[in-house]
Amino acid sequence: MKRNILLHPDPRLKKVAKPVDDISDDLRALADDMLKTMYEAPGIGLAAPQVGILDRLIVLDCVKEEGETPRPLVMFNPQVVAASDDLNTYEEGCLSLPDLYADVTRPRVVDVTWMDRDGKAKQETFDGLWATCVQHEIDHLNGKLFIDYLKPLKRQMMTRKMVKLKRELARA
Ligand code: K1U
Ligand code: ZN
């Protein structure tokens, strides 16, 4: 089932999500729904708070090339356990702020631990777009949006645009 993606500003996008201790069939079904929602958006990542669920669950697939094999990842309780000093700037977007983009600078390489959908502990090193995306999604679990890295004026401008968009969508 495709889920509705919350749009900024929404108080649920500012909350800290709670750790998952038991991976139930309901949580596995939520992960499947989130992957479907992400692919259909389309996007390369999605965090549970974006669909209104305050659990520490993210999904991502940064394979963008047509014809390349998709690599859907489901991560429960993801954690960055090491980050490079070397930084990378990427023009980020967010499905909760459609059509708005801004440069964000983050560690270029990160080691991430998580639990997969079978409850198996995993660890992997990510770089490039994968590193950017996994950090963006983990930020969502901590109530942080990419606009929180921007100067206040730019952040306010983007928030105003979103308030206007939400008003227009509510009227339609
Ligand atoms: O978390 C989200 O809202 C998803 C977001 C992830 C993200 C994008 C860029 C940098 C960091 C994290 C998106 O997927 S926005 C859409 C997007 O980037 C995209 C859409 C279609 C094809 C390729 C990329
Ligand atoms: Zn986002």
pLDDT in tens, 94-126: 999 999 999 999 999 999 999 999 999 999 999
Structurally, the chain folds into a number of domains equal to 1
For residues 152-163, average pLDDT: 98
For the four alpha carbons of 53, 56, 62 and 63, in that order, the dihedral sign comes to negative
Confidence band for 45, pLDDT divided at 50, 70 and 90 = very high
Residue whose Cα lies nearest atom 17 of ligand 1: it is: 43
For residues 58-83, average pLDDT: 96
Q: Is residue 6 part of a domain?
A: no
Task: Calculate what percentage of the chain has a pLDDT beyond 90.
Answer: 98
Mutate to test the pocket of ligand 1, among 44, 73, 90, 130 (most ligand atoms within 8 A of CB): 44
Active site residue ranges: 137
CA distances from 48 to 64, 74, 94, 113, 159 (A): 22, 11, 14, 18, 21
Kindly give the distance from the C-alpha atom of residue 92 to the centroid of ligand 1, in angstroms, as a whole number. 7
Burial class (CB within 10 angstroms; exposed 0-12, middle 13-18, buried 19+) of 26? exposed
Kindly give the distance from the C-alpha atom of residue 91 to the centroid of ligand 1, in angstroms, as a whole number. 10
Kindly give the distance from the C-alpha atom of residue 95 to the centroid of ligand 1, in angstroms, as a whole number. 7
Q: For the chain, what is the mean pLDDT?
A: 98
Give yes or no for residue 44 CB within 6 A of ligand 1: yes
Question: What is the CATH classification number for the domain harbouring 82?
Answer: 3.90.45.10
For residues 51-75, average pLDDT: 96
H or E segment and range at residue 77: strand 73-83
For residues 67-77, average pLDDT: 97
What tens digit of pLDDT does each residue of 130-147 get? Answer: 999 999 999 999 999 999
Q: Is residue 142 part of a domain?
A: yes
Residues 20, 31: Cα–Cα separation, whole Å: 13
Q: Is residue 25 part of a domain?
A: yes
Whether 64 has a pLDDT exceeding 90, the answer reads: no
| Distance, C-alpha 114 to centroid of its chain | 15
Amino acid at 144: K
Whether 84 has a pLDDT exceeding 90, the answer reads: yes
* pTM for the model: 0.98
Whether 170 has a pLDDT exceeding 90, the answer reads: yes
In this predicted structure, which of 4-8, 66-70, 94-98, 117-121 has the lowest mean pLDDT? 66-70
Q: What pLDDT, on the 0 to 100 scale, is given for residue 172?
A: 87
| Residue 39: domain span | 11-171
Q: Is residue 59 part of a domain?
A: yes
Amino acid at 128: G
Q: Is residue 5 part of a domain?
A: no
Q: What pLDDT, on the 0 to 100 scale, is given for residue 66?
A: 85
